[in-house]
Structure 1
Amino acid sequence: MAGGRVPMGLRVSVGQARLASERQQRSAVAVQLAEGDSHERFDACALIADSPWRNAIARQAADLAIKGFLADYPSTPAEWPIKRAATRVLLALNGWCFSQSRFVASGSYVSSLSALILHHDQGHLFHAGDTVVYRLRGAEIEQLTREHITDLGGYRYPSRALGMDASLDLDYLTLPLVQGDLFLFATQTVRGILLPSDYMQLIREHSADLDAACLALAERAAELAAGRGVSAESICFQLMRVDRLDDLWPAASDRDRLPLPPELAPGDEIDGYWIEELLSSGNQQRVYRVRDAASGDRLLMATPALEMSGSHDYLYLFDRQRDMLGALRSPHVNRLETSRRAPSYHYYLMRYIEGETLGQWIRQHADIGLAQRLEIGRQMTKAVSALHRREFLHQSLSPNSFVVDRHGQVVLTEFAACCPRDTPAEMARSLAQGAGINDFAAPEYWLGLEVGRRSDQYSLASIIYWLLSYSAAYERSGKGRPIAGMGRGGYLPYKPLAQKLRTEHDLGALEYVPLTRWVNNAPPSLDNLLRRAVSPKRSMRFRRLYELMVGLRRADAQTAQSRRRGSRQLQLWRAIALLLVFGWLISWWFK
């Protein structure tokens, strides 16, 4: 297929070439463009697969893997994030291939597979095995996949592939797309035969016809491989070029064509809900405390700001926030409340939690110990983890995002900048900026870099650092005026980033302030944990929030152990002191 067009706006050109006949080939390539409802799952999908076996039955694994993926992936639920949907399909295919291998006398249903899914302005790459995917952007070429191979007796075999084991470990990579990006898919055989300069030259010579470019690559590779005894049946190329990106801003959902509510004040009524107080007034969203006139129950009402009436991108994300709250079940995340009456305006309701924001609560409980502060940190981590499991980012975590209820339970209640992980990068940044970038935001928000779950990890760890270092002395000193190095009553791991960051090179100049400088009884392991979680470089932070949770639990155990050890030492010294006093009394009595 020389070119293709997706109605929503994404336009790609495709080229393919294989030198082997249909009966000889062990590899397979395919590109599928979305049609109809498939646009919810992808705009375009390109795959390459390669089987290591020459057995006529076993080598079908590559073709069956691609056909199975393209048949099943578009049918996955639309609310599933791309990563979850594709992973589920690939795990099912892996299980099927692994089970079929027992019916093959010579060989097995094993296949390397690389799949690139394009959706909006993002690419999602899934990979297992030794197939190769490159990205050509301008004059640069970059290999996106790493080869999972093992050398045995001079032969190279896949160490990880579809159908090789009952479990499957996939590499996953997200890629911001740029118009003109060119993706080259190749079998592992051509590695070491063609140089990057060969790819660039031959593709540039045939840029108008990608089929011709692939054929030129295949013929050149076969010519150079002839003296090495490499069979042409394993040489396969595919090219996919992004000619035009999808529209960045999706339209608001069809089910919500209701008008936005006007600016509301205490005493106003809307759909049977009386406005009691405006709790949050951001550039994009308002949050009110309301009372149901029929039941008397207090609720929270979130509404888009009236200025956002013409912003389809924001209204789309506002609806996704509501859907996320409706599907999420966690005691540490606020839940959606169903309206008892048909709404006449665009809003959603949440339960109202009696309590104080974390910032208010810690001012009233500044004398609590390290163990209780660590417990609050673990509860906050559970809340953010619940969002991440639903493939959502929060993007604006701060102490005021959490409420501590009357029972001491921490609940996440603010979602103004919350969005799905697969939200186009520009849209996600615009949402975060509209909600306001606070002192706890990761450096990538200040520099306009790519953000993700590790960005939330930075914000969360900064809040925990602030919580652990919070002291009532701040309130007394300066009568509440800001003090250098402090952030709203507690310390921050770095000086305010807005004052320090201008370019990405400035990240190396940031100096972490050890927590032990402010908290004498903090174990060194806790300091090391937070130091990594707030690393200026996103790639150096923990891969999952679970690792931060485990670290906080261990720090709490070490703190408790230290308290017990200190208590035992205190008891020992008390006993020694009593013995000395008793001995002195005896000696005095018998004088």
Structure 2
Amino acid sequence: MTQQLKISIGQYSDKGRKETNQDFHGICVPTEPQLSSKGIAIAVADGISSSEVSHIASQSAVTGFLEDYYCTSESWSVKTSAERVLVATNSWLHAQTQQSQYRYDKDRGYVCTLSVMVIKSTTAHIFHVGDSRVYQLRDGALDQLTDDHRVWVSPDQSYLSHALGINPQLEIDYQTLPVEKGDVFVFSTDGVHEHADPNFIISAIQSSEGDLDQVAKTIVEEAYRKGSADNLTIQIVRVEEVPSPEANEIYRQVSELPFAPLLEARMNFDGYQIVRELHASSRSHIYLAVDGDTNQTVVIKTPSIDLQGDPAYLERFLMEEWIARRINSAHVLKPCLQTRKRHYIYVATEFVDGQTLAQWMIDNPKPDLETVRGIVDQIAKGLQAFHRLEMLHQDLKPDNIMIDGTGTVKIIDFGATRVAGMMEVSTPIEQINLLGAAQYAAPEYFLGENGTSCSDIFSLGVIAYQMLSGKLPYGAEVPKSRTRAAQRKLEYKSVLSDDREIPAWIDEAIMKAVHPDPRKRYDELSEFVFDLHHPNSAFLSKTRPPLIERNPVIFWKVVSFVLMIAIIVVLGMKSTVE
């Protein structure tokens, strides 16, 4: 039986001996598919006592996170999603203080501590700022997982060194740890953990008979009896079940749906009328078809029957549609809206009436520079749509790029795409580091390293180079270079030639994009695109010819002047000696 992530929850909060409760807490347990794709979020915040509005900060921080986190892209990692939300929340709180009467006294503004945990699949992600705490109870030991961001001036006086809303920039502690069935996590504000003895907390949780709310209340009452003068809040989370790998949505599709048969012209397939086969390989079959409901021309892609025993390939096949549905760009192939129940494993996409970039380069062996720029610009826009969602394409090559009749360029294949958010989901299918076409793959892949956005920039640089020269910047040497020493010996061959009018600074831009060391490439696609259109001053000074070539007369005048000065100095020194 497929297991899903399941927890038990106990919570309790009280104002204690204070007039108002400045703490705030919350938990969000979504239903599928967000339970698998985004996980369960738990948050607790504690307002600072010097502020009369910090309760607003606490409530805004917790509710804002629990709402906004689930609005972030499923393709983002937990870390990216949570940090984007927390940074935005911090900016809002800080702005509220700046616009209030407390702008010159930040300790009285919209400030609070915050501890957040997101349990996704079998991993807990912890984000922390301030002195609220997260503990883990396992094997009878209560271990503090977070550090208090508090500076002690004396035994009786201290202040928060980090808090939400106190500064325009936010420093967040982040860590991950594996989650097992039976793990218990305890979230508390300082009104509880500074007074309730850890042994009491352990005993109360272990002796509970399932009512964790009552346990939470008992611990708060104990802290109050021990003299706590602060607000008191505690959350107890017990992991009842961790998800089985089979809970992965894509894995279920692989397991449940049968393979499509070989399709032929005029055949009716799941409501599509097959027109003809467009392409066939050992890995997939691609057909031109017409949707029977909309009369729209589409493309049907089915996996090869020979690979039905390869679940890793099938998962990647289905990931292509998952990825396409989350990218909205005119330069990325669009999937068809699925309006009917699917009976087989296949992908339906829009039909691009045009040719691949590989064929285009054959038909246009010497394109002008402006045309090359236009194509690179459009490919870069498509790649940026991937990168904004924390996706790496990893297989950018001319065969995976289409140019339609209007000149619009589209990236069409996502079989090797790496999605940060999906890498966090457990699956029984072995994940491998996919390489695209070897001649376009970045050198770091051949060292067994994971790619970055700079890896896609390398592939785009190779394509730009090939369009301008018909060749590859390192020939066939990159796939052979499987050590750092070998990669340092790779020699870039200039794209400049006697029969093409290409500025030297264009060559410098491409050379930087395809540098063997990813740290020496462009950090962003936009920088590469900009340098293809505008001379980079660094490249101009580097490629500027020496003075003797630009103006020989001035060069020799300068040399003569320097020699004259040198002779005068020598003669002066000689006369002084005499």
Q: CA deviation at 1:412?
A: 0.3
Change beyond 3 A, Cα 1:183–1:329: same
1:276 aligns with 2:274: no
List aligned pairs for 1:83-102, cutoff 5 A: 87=84, 91=88, 95=92, 99=96, 102=100
Q: Distance in 2 between matches of 1:132 and 1:456?
A: 34
Match of 1:557 among 511, 534, 538: 534
Q: Distance in 1 between matches of 2:248 and 2:327?
A: 24
Match of 1:161 among 161, 164, 168: 164
CA-to-aligned-CA distance 1:211-259 (integer Å, 9 cap, x gap): 999x99xx99xx9xx9xxxx87489887767675312242459999875
1:466 aligns with 2:439: no
Aligned to 1:403: 402
* Matched AA of 2:18: R
1:534 aligns with 2:538: no
Q: Distance in 2 between matches of 1:204 and 1:47?
A: 21
Q: Is the 8 A contact 1:137 1:182 kept in 2?
A: yes
Aligned to 2:16: 21
Any idea what SS the aligned residue of 1:336 has? coil
Aligned to 2:351: 351
Q: Distance in 2 between matches of 1:382 and 1:172?
A: 33
Structure 1 unaligned segments of length 5 or more: list them: 1-6, 476-482, 501-507, 577-591
Aligned to 1:412: 411
Match of 2:46 among 27, 31, 50: 50
* Matched AA of 2:349: L
CA-to-aligned-CA distance 1:353-404 (integer Å, 9 cap, x gap): 411244x544665655777656544433321211233454535444432234
Q: Distance in 1 between matches of 2:457 and 2:158?
A: 47
Aligned to 2:332: 333
List aligned pairs for 1:134-283, cutoff 5 A: 156-157=159-160, 161-162=164-165, 164=166, 175=176, 177-179=178-180, 233=230, 244-248=241-245, 249-251=247-249, 259-264=258-263, 270=269, 271-282=272-283
Q: Distance in 1 between matches of 2:536 and 2:46?
A: 53
* Matched AA of 2:288: V
Q: Distance in 2 between matches of 1:344 and 1:116?
A: 39
Q: Distance in 2 between matches of 1:386 and 1:150?
A: 47
Q: Distance in 1 between matches of 2:289 and 2:25?
A: 59
More moved, 413-422 vs 236-245: 236-245
Q: Distance in 2 between matches of 1:92 and 1:114?
A: 14
Q: Distance in 2 between matches of 1:313 and 1:202?
A: 49
Change beyond 3 A, Cα 1:323–1:473: closer
Change beyond 3 A, Cα 1:393–1:124: farther
Q: Distance in 1 between matches of 2:144 and 2:397?
A: 38
List aligned pairs for 1:307-386, cutoff 5 A: 321-322=320-321, 324-326=323-325, 328-337=327-336, 345=344, 346-358=346-358, 360-362=359-361, 367=366, 376-386=375-385
CA-to-aligned-CA distance 1:145-196 (integer Å, 9 cap, x gap): 8969999xx964456624x57x7858596847453788676769999x9xxx
Aligned to 1:300: 299
Q: Distance in 2 between matches of 1:168 and 1:179?
A: 35
Q: Distance in 2 between matches of 1:526 and 1:429?
A: 41
Aligned to 2:288: 290
Q: Distance in 1 between matches of 2:508 and 2:190?
A: 47
Instruction: Let me know the Cα RMSD of the aligned residues.
Output: 6.4
Q: Distance in 2 between matches of 1:354 and 1:383?
A: 17
Change beyond 3 A, Cα 1:173–1:279: farther
Q: CA deviation at 1:553?
A: 1.4
Match of 1:60 among 45, 55, 63: 55
Any idea what SS the aligned residue of 1:290 has? strand
Q: CA deviation at 1:288?
A: 0.9
Change beyond 3 A, Cα 1:37–1:261: closer
Aligned to 1:580: none
Q: Which has the higher contact order (CA 8 A, sep 6+)?
A: 2
Q: Is the 8 A contact 1:274 1:290 kept in 2?
A: yes
Q: CA deviation at 1:99?
A: 4.8
Q: Distance in 2 between matches of 1:293 and 1:44?
A: 39
Q: Distance in 2 between matches of 1:460 and 1:136?
A: 43
* Matched AA of 1:179: E
What is the total number of aligned residue pairs between the two structures? 517
Q: Is the 8 A contact 1:471 1:490 kept in 2?
A: no
Any idea what SS the aligned residue of 1:558 has? coil
Q: Distance in 1 between matches of 2:469 and 2:70?
A: 59
Any idea what SS the aligned residue of 2:44 has? strand
Q: Distance in 2 between matches of 1:531 and 1:148?
A: 45
CA-to-aligned-CA distance 1:19-52 (integer Å, 9 cap, x gap): 9936377555555544678636654322232322
Aligned to 1:119: 120
Q: Is the 8 A contact 1:354 1:405 kept in 2?
A: yes
* Matched AA of 2:526: M
CA-to-aligned-CA distance 1:510-539 (integer Å, 9 cap, x gap): 74456645456466566555549724xxxx
Q: Is the 8 A contact 1:130 1:149 kept in 2?
A: no
Aligned to 2:111: 110
Give TM-score scaled by structure 2 length.
Answer: 0.62
Q: CA deviation at 1:117?
A: 1.6
Q: Distance in 1 between matches of 2:339 and 2:32?
A: 34
If you compute each CA radius of gyration, which structure gives the higher value, 1 or 2?
Answer: 2
Q: Distance in 2 between matches of 1:436 and 1:208?
A: 50
1:10 aligns with 2:5: yes
Aligned to 2:572: none
| Aligned residues with identical type, % of pairs | 17
Change beyond 3 A, Cα 1:298–1:16: closer
Q: Is the 8 A contact 1:136 1:142 kept in 2?
A: no
* Matched AA of 1:116: M
Match of 1:548 among 525, 534, 539: 525
Any idea what SS the aligned residue of 1:114 has? strand
Structure 2 unaligned segments of length 5 or more: list them: 497-503, 555-578
Change beyond 3 A, Cα 1:48–1:402: same
Q: Is the 8 A contact 1:15 1:238 kept in 2?
A: yes
Q: Is the 8 A contact 2:266 2:273 kept in 1?
A: no
Aligned to 2:573: none
* Matched AA of 2:278: E
Q: Is the 8 A contact 1:402 1:411 kept in 2?
A: yes
CA-to-aligned-CA distance 1:251-270 (integer Å, 9 cap, x gap): 45999987542134678664
* Matched AA of 1:10: L
